[in-house]
Chains A and B, each alone.
Chain A
């Protein structure tokens, strides 16, 4: 996957998680929602690791390596997504 594809994948996963989270906040006992949440958060964990490795840090806690790459472009408003 290229950079844009990985970003899109992460956006899709995070959006699914956000929807599941809001649903669970008002339906805390719903087993389907809980199951879906566990599923997508598992996928998200892997996708975020991959993204950090290939595309650079997603948060300022994810910078690895010797350079302070957090400051690097592109910032989100500079490119698509």
Chain B
């Protein structure tokens, strides 16, 4: 389907010949691409040849285009997981305190010398104010370094550090946990000292005076959030870093997407094809 010269570039179907037609059981539903040397580590379930760079004039892409034309034309590797993509099988780059929100810390992602990541049974490196971030009360080894067991609100002094807030349920700020000079911790009527990222810590929406200093009304996510929360849907975020992720324009139109990694063809046949 790569058209050069003066040939009319009307895409017939993506099929080259009737023989390639998908409806016959067992036949591939696109023309078998030319054999290419296999690139080590690259997916070999689909091979496509990248066409001449569409934008050779665009300096940014010249180098990549050169690399591509010298390459073996295999489908690019699936993108590597970003560092924040989950638990259990990723190295978070040995950054202390990353955690992963799960209990599958088999390779000690959170670098705490213990398996599992989470609350209650890990020392987050004795950094003040880390808290445990997930349910209170399991602070058996004094994770939040406040000299008391449990982590929570209402009855703990978080070391008089401004902006600590109480982190879980509001209103119990009898000892001025959030160091704002007022009892209770809450939103809407407290100034958290104009410290960015403090948030309001308990139900949002009352951030009329931009308490959390993020330039928007309402309180946002200023807490240490797990990668994924319960009761929420997540779709992996696509990345686009250069030319390797995209088709040439004629192929893109034919395939129905510009992006190689979103090209997910259908090969189901269901019942038998009659006739």
Q: Do A and B form a real pair? A: yes
Assess whether A11 is interfacial by the CB under 8 Å rule: yes
Q: Which residues of A contact B10 (CB under 8 A)?
A: 4-5, 8, 80-81
What separation, in Å, do the CA atoms of A80 and B243 have in the docked complex? 30
The complex places the Cα of A81 from the Cα of B59 at a distance, in Å, of: 34
Interface size on B, residues (CB 8 A): 21
Give the shortest distance, in Å, between B1 (CB) and chain A (any CB).
11
B238 contacts A by Cβ under 8 Å = yes
Q: How far is the CA of A73 from the CA of B6 in the complex (A)?
A: 25
Minimum Cβ distance to chain A for residue B39 (Å) = 22
A4 to B11, CA, bound (A): 10
Flag if A16 contacts B238 (CB, 8 Å): no
Residues of A within 8 A of B (CB-CB), count? 24
Identify which of B6, B237, B259 contacts A19 (C-beta below 8 A): B259
- Give, as a whole number of angstroms, the nearest-CB distance from B240 to chain A: 5
Tell me which residues across on chain A come within 8 A of B11, comparing CB atoms.
8
- For residue B256, which residue of chain A has the nearest CB? A15
In the complex, B9 has a CB within 8 A of chain A: yes
B258 in complex: contacting residue of A9, A20, A35, CB < 8 Å: A20
Contact among B8, B253, B259 for A12, CB-based, below 8 A: B253
Q: Which residue of A lies closest to B258 (CB)?
A: A19
Query: B interface, by DSSP: helix, strand, loop or mixed?
Result: loop
Q: Mark A1-40, 1 if CB is under 8 A from B, else 0.
A: 1101100110111011001100100010010110110011
A19–B246 Cα distance when bound, in Å, is 10
Contact status A16-B8, CB under 8 Å: no
CA–CA, A13 and B60, complex, Å: 20
For the complex, give the distance between the alpha carbons of A11 and B252 in Å: 11
Chain B 230-246: CB-based contact to A (< 8 A → 1; otherwise 0): 00000001101110001
A36: chain B residues at CB < 8 Å are 55, 246
- For residue B249, CB closer than 8 A to chain A, the reply is yes
Residue of A whose beta carbon sits closest to that of B250: A12
- CB proximity to B under 8 Å, residues A60-81: 80-81
Check if B240 sits within 8 Å of A30, measured CB to CB. yes
- Could you tell me if B242 and A15 are in contact, using CB atoms closer than 8 angstroms? no
Contacts of A9 in B (CB 8 A): 9
Since A2-B8, A4-B10 are in contact, a sample of 4 more A-B pairs with Cβ atoms closer than 8 Å, ordered by chain A residue number, is A1-B6, A19-B252, A19-B258, A32-B242
